[in-house]
A and B are shown apart, each in its own frame.
Chain A
Amino acid sequence: MNRPAITPPQPWTFPTPTTTHFDNGMTVLKFDRPGQHLIDATLVLDLPLHTERASIEGVSAILQRCLDEGTRSHPRTDFAEQLENRGAVLNGGVSHSATHVSLEVPTTRFAEALPLFAEAVLEPTLEAADVRRHVELRLAEIGQHRAHPTHRGAEAFRAAVIDDDFRAARSSGGTAASVRRISTDDVHAHYAAHYGPERATLVLAGDFTDDPLPVVRDAFEGWSRTVTTLSSERPLAAPPQVLLIDRPAAVQADVRLGGFGIDRTDPRWPALRLGAFVLGGGFLSRLNRVLREERGYTYGVQLSNTPARHGGLLAMHASFRTEVAAAAIAEARELIRVDGDGALTEAELTDARNFLVGIMPLRCATAAGVADQAAALIDVGLDTGFVNRHAAALELVTPEQATAAIAELLQPDRLSLVVVGDAAVLADQLAAQGLDATVISDPSV
């Protein structure tokens, strides 16, 4: 049977939310997703991490982790029991620009669970015992991450490519030295300074046969704390470096090659997304086709963009077996070149565009999918109409523009290289490739 022809997909657009502004300054976006059995409610609180005092970086994360450890109305474990009794779950996290807290609950129990969710944000008790425990848990987590090649590589790469004058150069959860200093008073002060309705956007997604607004209004309208307004930092790139973090006897090298790039507001963003997909997004990307499918050096290689509010991380990432790691790095540096015959082609761009645009209905098919997409944009100060504007912009990118964006942002001699692996083998291998690595050894890896 012959290969079936493809007709153009049905046009799809990201849904437009119903927006409500409460008198206290909080914004509510409601996305109706008929047929969904779960409701997702995600609160995004504008809270850039450079507001943390340098000595107690990580305080935003500790605060967020303590939110569900008890409220004035439901102290201590009573809170978690009330929530879990309703089949609900709270999740959360902090990015470098915002704190996220989300509720997921069956539609039938939304009206009972939403007030509990509001309690966690409006009236957490933040008891000393809980703060102390979460500090200890975070310190243990830091230890686990340092011993894990992927986590270690990601953190070292962030630190390598962003000027360390900026908070963005360090993990959102803080370092061992700073987390150790966080006190209960610090957590309370941070809460008082930053948790207020004017900074908050609540994203609701689900089947709203019953209007959720009255329930949300009841729960959040009484929130009245005034908090100071913020500006966010604009990080600068650090000079390129080559780091080799020693993990004695490791059978693979975790490799990151890239730099500090651009965010969604940069005019080159659509061109960069397409170019990065051609080089390292798809299964037969230029990098994966050679390094996995021809050479068998790795389980997979990606070139990924991680946009922040200002700037973003742009990195090739893969784990290569130790013996071939330096050869793989050398080949990767050639594969990401787009000069001369390496210019990106219209055919490559078409496939990349079809994927990036075509995958969106799937990604946004569920309540959680829509809420996650919206929250990611609110996190960096964008409106949710960005999804459709970006899709339209992708259609207009020419191969020349995509090639130029890659050439500017991935200049082979301007990239940082971070390798986590067995330095006893890798240092000489890298040197043979002309890469003089700074070796970092510490007892925790």
Chain B
Amino acid sequence: MALMAPVVHYPLHQATLDNGLRVIVNPDPSVPVVAVNLWYDVGSRDERPGRTGLAHLFEHLMFEGSANVTSGEHLATVQSVGGSANATTWFDRTNYFETVPTCALDLALWLEADRLASLQVTQHNLDNQRDVVMEEKRQRYDNVPYGDVMLHLVQLTFPADHPYGHPTIGSMDDLAAATLDDAKAFFATHYAPSNAVLTLVGDIDPTDGIARANSFFGGLAASTRPVREVTAPLPPLTGVPRREVTATVPADAAYLSWRLPASDTPAFDALELALAALGDGQTSRLHRRLVRNDQIAEGAGASTTGLIGGTSLGFASARALPGVAGAQLEDAIVDEFERFIADGPTTAEVDRVKAQYEREWLGELARFDNRADLFSSYATLQGDPEAVNRRLDEIRAVTIDDVAAAASDWLATDQRAVVTYHRERA
């Protein structure tokens, strides 16, 4: 079937300030709003042993005041001008963002520059935000069924001392042990103009946008960019590491993971398509098999989590219908992966997952804030934000043979790790 392909090209303007801050502007006057997005090249992979969770805890502290901004005022100020702001921390990065009416662009830049220039961390703020982060951990991980699954999968998939060997939220013990000196040292090491990318998307002229970035950030001192040791790619897993979790969950579940190549490799693109064919959407193999035909799962899927430091993650999972055991889910998933590797994908499958990728990618780019985040991401992790504009062509260029070969190399079922949840009966 010949389908007309969407063509997307967002104009980009780039500059690097004298202090090393990279600035990217994508003008789009369709709405009187500008998205400000700042990526710092620091994530939980940069934490040292005994201080897991520090990158994320530190992200909270960035909202607790600076020379000209009081505690909490950053977020409240952005909201009071009709904008939104937040931040997130992940294995590979920490991002901060504001989306504001055009008239408040200078304010957003000033708020970001003020905390980079003069963050004021106090023991009181640290203690308070440590409590808040512990509540975040309880709410999102400890108090919900299957909430600890990422912890288990990460521990099974990576060695404990690997940069990706612990989840971003960290451990309660490490959070409790974090000191004011840790926070100050973390700031001094990682928060510098040369370790950041600033992206503006929206109702702004490119020359003006770069000039404004320079007027607020240009005066900040340059400092040495921290050097990160290169992490060699890990080989696939061996021996099927496994964890059986008995918990008060409503139904059994099976979660499988694989080590995949880094997110900037052609093989990773092929694996994104392979795992989509296996587990994304109603027509995917896992849904057809486990949900529709065998009727053993209430849901089944597969996906990737792209990481830049040598090794990414691939997942497959299913949650059981009442009375079905986790092992039965695992067997069915393994069976479908083996069939996929033995027979390869069909042309129709590959075309379909490419078409679905296109829609999802266009959806990501539609919102200014998400689009800005993608430009910052590609600039930080892959060195070139224009890669966003090439992305659909790259995905279209992946062949059925690429998908088959990547699946065979990386998704073999003896290269999996498994977490199985067993329902604890009261």
Given contacts A133-B295, A366-B367, contact A10 B72 (CB under 8 A): no
Given contacts A6-B81, A282-B76, contact A358 B71 (CB under 8 A): no
Cβ of A354 within 8 Å of any chain B Cβ, yes or no, is yes
Is the CB–CB distance between B80 and A299 below 8 Å? Answer: no
Q: Which residues of A contact B351 (CB under 8 A)?
A: 85
Q: Which residues of A contact B31 (CB under 8 A)?
A: 361-362, 364-365
Is the CB–CB distance between B292 and A366 below 8 Å? Answer: no
Given contacts A4-B107, A84-B282, A148-B144, contact A284 B359 (CB under 8 A): no
Is the CB–CB distance between B82 and A354 below 8 Å? Answer: yes
Cβ-neighbour of B138 out of A3, A321, A368 (below 8 A): A321
Cβ of B88 within 8 Å of any chain A Cβ, yes or no, is no
Cβ-neighbour of B81 out of A68, A84, A354 (below 8 A): A354
The complex places the Cα of A75 from the Cα of B131 at a distance, in Å, of: 54
Is the CB–CB distance between A282 and B298 below 8 Å? Answer: no
Is the CB–CB distance between A89 and B356 below 8 Å? Answer: yes
Most buried by B among A6, A35, A298: A6
Is the CB–CB distance between A252 and B135 below 8 Å? Answer: yes
Q: Which residues of B contact A364 (CB under 8 A)?
A: 31
The complex places the Cα of A403 from the Cα of B142 at a distance, in Å, of: 38
Is the CB–CB distance between B33 and A365 below 8 Å? Answer: yes
8 A Cβ contacts from A85-141 to B:
85-89, 104-109, 112, 133, 136-137, 139-141
Is the CB–CB distance between B81 and A133 below 8 Å? Answer: no
Q: Which residues of B contact A36 (CB under 8 A)?
A: 366
Residue of A nearest to B282 (CB): A80
Q: Interface residue tally of chain A, by bracket?
A: 35 or more
The complex places the Cα of A136 from the Cα of B292 at a distance, in Å, of: 11
Is the CB–CB distance between B135 and A9 below 8 Å? Answer: no
Cβ of A392 within 8 Å of any chain B Cβ, yes or no, is no
Most buried by A among B129, B140, B249, B352: B352
The complex places the Cα of A37 from the Cα of B364 at a distance, in Å, of: 11
Cβ of A222 within 8 Å of any chain B Cβ, yes or no, is no
Cβ of A431 within 8 Å of any chain B Cβ, yes or no, is no
Given contacts A37-B6, A137-B298, contact A365 B358 (CB under 8 A): no
The complex places the Cα of A279 from the Cα of B82 at a distance, in Å, of: 17
Among the stretches B98-106, B176-184, B331-339, the one at the interface with A is B98-106
Cβ-neighbour of A10 out of B103, B249, B250 (below 8 A): B103
Cβ-neighbour of A444 out of B84, B101, B250, B363 (below 8 A): B250
Given contacts A108-B6, A294-B128, contact A284 B352 (CB under 8 A): no
The complex places the Cα of A56 from the Cα of B359 at a distance, in Å, of: 37
Is the CB–CB distance between B366 and A358 below 8 Å? Answer: no
Is the CB–CB distance between B82 and A283 below 8 Å? Answer: no
Cβ of A146 within 8 Å of any chain B Cβ, yes or no, is yes
Cβ-neighbour of B32 out of A12, A140, A366 (below 8 A): A12
The complex places the Cα of A87 from the Cα of B363 at a distance, in Å, of: 11
Is the CB–CB distance between B138 and A144 below 8 Å? Answer: no
The complex places the Cα of A212 from the Cα of B288 at a distance, in Å, of: 33
Cβ of A81 within 8 Å of any chain B Cβ, yes or no, is yes
Given contacts A136-B321, A362-B33, contact A84 B283 (CB under 8 A): yes
Is the CB–CB distance between B282 and A10 below 8 Å? Answer: no
Cβ of A229 within 8 Å of any chain B Cβ, yes or no, is no
Cβ-neighbour of A6 out of B32, B107, B139, B250 (below 8 A): B107
The complex places the Cα of A139 from the Cα of B320 at a distance, in Å, of: 12
Cβ of A269 within 8 Å of any chain B Cβ, yes or no, is no
Q: Which residues of A contact B295 (CB under 8 A)?
A: 133, 136
Cβ of A357 within 8 Å of any chain B Cβ, yes or no, is yes
Cβ of B281 within 8 Å of any chain A Cβ, yes or no, is yes
The smallest C-beta distance from B395 to any residue of chain A, in angstroms, reads 12
Q: Which residues of B contact A140 (CB under 8 A)?
A: 251, 298, 319, 321-322
Q: Which residues of B contact A298 (CB under 8 A)?
A: 132, 135, 139
Cβ of B1 within 8 Å of any chain A Cβ, yes or no, is yes
Residue of B nearest to A35 (CB): B30
8 A Cβ contacts from B176-201 to A:
none
Is the CB–CB distance between B362 and A299 below 8 Å? Answer: no
Cβ of A173 within 8 Å of any chain B Cβ, yes or no, is no
The smallest C-beta distance from A10 to any residue of chain B, in angstroms, reads 5
Cβ of A77 within 8 Å of any chain B Cβ, yes or no, is yes
Is the CB–CB distance between B135 and A319 below 8 Å? Answer: yes
Residue of A nearest to B99 (CB): A362
8 A Cβ contacts from A259-285 to B:
282-284
Cβ-neighbour of B132 out of A133, A292, A369 (below 8 A): A292
Cβ of A344 within 8 Å of any chain B Cβ, yes or no, is no
The complex places the Cα of A37 from the Cα of B88 at a distance, in Å, of: 27
Residue of A nearest to B8 (CB): A37
Is the CB–CB distance between A359 and B6 below 8 Å? Answer: no
Is the CB–CB distance between B128 and A38 below 8 Å? Answer: no
The complex places the Cα of A347 from the Cα of B322 at a distance, in Å, of: 54
The complex places the Cα of A109 from the Cα of B355 at a distance, in Å, of: 10
The complex places the Cα of A176 from the Cα of B215 at a distance, in Å, of: 61
The complex places the Cα of A85 from the Cα of B350 at a distance, in Å, of: 10
8 A Cβ contacts from A345-391 to B:
350-351, 354-355, 357-359, 361-362, 364-369
Q: Which residues of A contact B251 (CB under 8 A)?
A: 140, 143-144
Scoring B residues 71 to 105 as 1 if CB is less than 8 Å from chain A, else 0, what string do you get?
11101100111111000000000000001011110
Residue of A nearest to B30 (CB): A35
Q: Which residues of A contact B102 (CB under 8 A)?
A: 9-10
The complex places the Cα of A103 from the Cα of B192 at a distance, in Å, of: 44
Is the CB–CB distance between B83 and A358 below 8 Å? Answer: yes
8 A Cβ contacts from B373-417 to A:
none
Cβ of B244 within 8 Å of any chain A Cβ, yes or no, is no
The complex places the Cα of A139 from the Cα of B215 at a distance, in Å, of: 58
Scoring B residues 45 to 82 as 1 if CB is less than 8 Å from chain A, else 0, what string do you get?
00000000000000000000000100111011001111
8 A Cβ contacts from A225-239 to B:
none
The complex places the Cα of A323 from the Cα of B298 at a distance, in Å, of: 35
The smallest C-beta distance from B10 to any residue of chain A, in angstroms, reads 10
Cβ-neighbour of B101 out of A146, A297, A361 (below 8 A): A361
Cβ of A147 within 8 Å of any chain B Cβ, yes or no, is yes
The complex places the Cα of A85 from the Cα of B28 at a distance, in Å, of: 30
Is the CB–CB distance between A84 and B30 below 8 Å? Answer: no
Cβ of A180 within 8 Å of any chain B Cβ, yes or no, is no
Q: Which residues of A contact B107 (CB under 8 A)?
A: 3-4, 6
The complex places the Cα of A319 from the Cα of B113 at a distance, in Å, of: 33
Most buried by A among B107, B129, B355: B355
8 A Cβ contacts from B97-124 to A:
99, 101-104, 106-107, 110, 113-114
Cβ of A342 within 8 Å of any chain B Cβ, yes or no, is no
The smallest C-beta distance from B422 to any residue of chain A, in angstroms, reads 14
Residue of A nearest to B130 (CB): A296
Q: Which residues of B contact A143 (CB under 8 A)?
A: 250-251, 322
Cβ of A250 within 8 Å of any chain B Cβ, yes or no, is yes
Q: Which residues of B contact A248 (CB under 8 A)?
A: 248
Q: Which residues of A contact B282 (CB under 8 A)?
A: 68, 77, 80, 84
Cβ of B365 within 8 Å of any chain A Cβ, yes or no, is yes
Cβ of B219 within 8 Å of any chain A Cβ, yes or no, is yes
The smallest C-beta distance from B407 to any residue of chain A, in angstroms, reads 20
Shortest 8 CB-CB contacts between residues of A and residues of B: A358-B82, A296-B131, A87-B355, A283-B75, A4-B106, A140-B298, A284-B76, A351-B80
**15 other A-B residue contacts (CB within 8 Å) besides A296-B130, A362-B368:** A1-B113, A1-B219, A9-B81, A10-B103, A86-B355, A144-B145, A252-B142, A282-B75, A283-B79, A284-B72, A299-B132, A299-B135, A321-B135, A361-B101, A365-B31
- Which positions in B face A, CB cutoff 8 Å? 1, 3-6, 8, 28, 30-33, 68, 71-73, 75-76, 79-84, 99, 101-104, 106-107, 110, 113-114, 127-132, 134-136, 138-140, 142-145, 215-216, 219, 248-251, 281-283, 288, 291-292, 295, 298, 319, 321-322, 348, 351-352, 355-356, 358-359, 362-363, 365-369, 426
What are some 11 contacts across the A-B interface (CB < 8 A)? A10-B102, A12-B32, A37-B365, A149-B144, A150-B144, A252-B143, A321-B134, A355-B79, A362-B31, A362-B368, A365-B30
